[in-house]
Amino acid sequence: MSKKTNTLLFILGATVLNVLVMLLCFVVLIVMYSRLLLPLLPETAQVWGLPLIFVGSIALSFWLYRIILKRLLKRVNMEKYFAPLFGRKKRS
């Protein structure tokens, strides 16, 4: 496969991985919220749980994605397998 194909497949795979990690974080946070905090909170405060969990799952997934990507960059020489996303600007 060419470097451009490898790059495209890597971007698609990384996007799918990031979405799956976000869904997993969302489910785990929902379960933790419903079992630990929901019975303790008054009804007026329970409304804020879902939006905070959603934002928290996005933040947590990006944090985990960054850690995974850093470890991958240490092990794999990206220039060998992937094409640069942005080419150099042509000078006139």
Domain span at 7: 3-77
Q: Who contacts 2 (Cβ-Cβ below 8 Å, separation ≥6)?
A: 83
Q: Is residue 82 part of a domain?
A: no
User: pTM to 2 decimals?
Assistant: 0.76
- pLDDT tens for 17-38 read 999 999 999 999 999 988 988 8
Position 73 in a domain: yes
Question: How confident is the model at residue 86, as a pLDDT?
Answer: 67
- Domain annotation covers residue 86: no
Residue 61 falls within a domain, yes or no? yes
Looking at the 3D structure of the chain, how many domains does it have?
1
In a domain, 15, yes or no: yes
Distance CA 83, CA 5 (A): 9
pLDDT at 80 over 70: yes
Q: Is residue 92 part of a domain?
A: no
Tokens of 31: 């379960």
Tens digits of residue pLDDT in 26-76: 999 999 988 988 888 888 788 888 899 999 999 999 999 999 889 988 888
92 pLDDT higher than 60: no
